[in-house]
Structure 1
């Protein structure tokens, strides 16, 4: 498996993902009023995930730190392995 190079996510893509996810962590449900939100790759780049908008979602900083480079089985339904 080849690691996908990391690119900077453009501001307009970040804004779109936050709006699509209603400014809410897709793991624990906290909102931007409760915590710092980040953009995360559902399938990590280290595991062959892409920089495509369909592979991005909103996570709070804590959930993102806990996830590291693992895949979250709750989101696997959106992707073929």
Structure 2
């Protein structure tokens, strides 16, 4: 599996992902009034994930740090080898 190059996520795409996810962390559920939110790759670039908008999600900084470059366990069943 080859690593995908990281690209800059434009502000319009960031806004779209935040709005799509209702400004809530997809892992813990905290909203933008409770914590700082970030854009994260569901399938990490280091694991072959793409920079496609369908591979982006909203996470708070704490959940993003905890996830690191691991696959989100909610999606593991689709990517077990």
Partner of 1:49: 49
Q: Does 1:40 align with 2:40?
A: yes
2:38 is paired with a residue of what secondary structure? strand
Distance 2:25 2:75 in 1: 13
Aligned residues: 79
Q: Does 1:68 align with 2:68?
A: yes
- Could you tell me how far 1:76 is from its partner in structure 2? 4.6
| TM-score, with length taken from structure 2 | 0.93
Name structure 2 gaps, 5 residues minimum: none
Distance 1:56 1:8 in 2: 13
The ranges of structure 1 where at least 4 consecutive aligned residues each deviate by more than 3 angstroms after the TM superposition are none
Partner of 1:21: 21
- Could you tell me how far 1:73 is from its partner in structure 2? 1.9
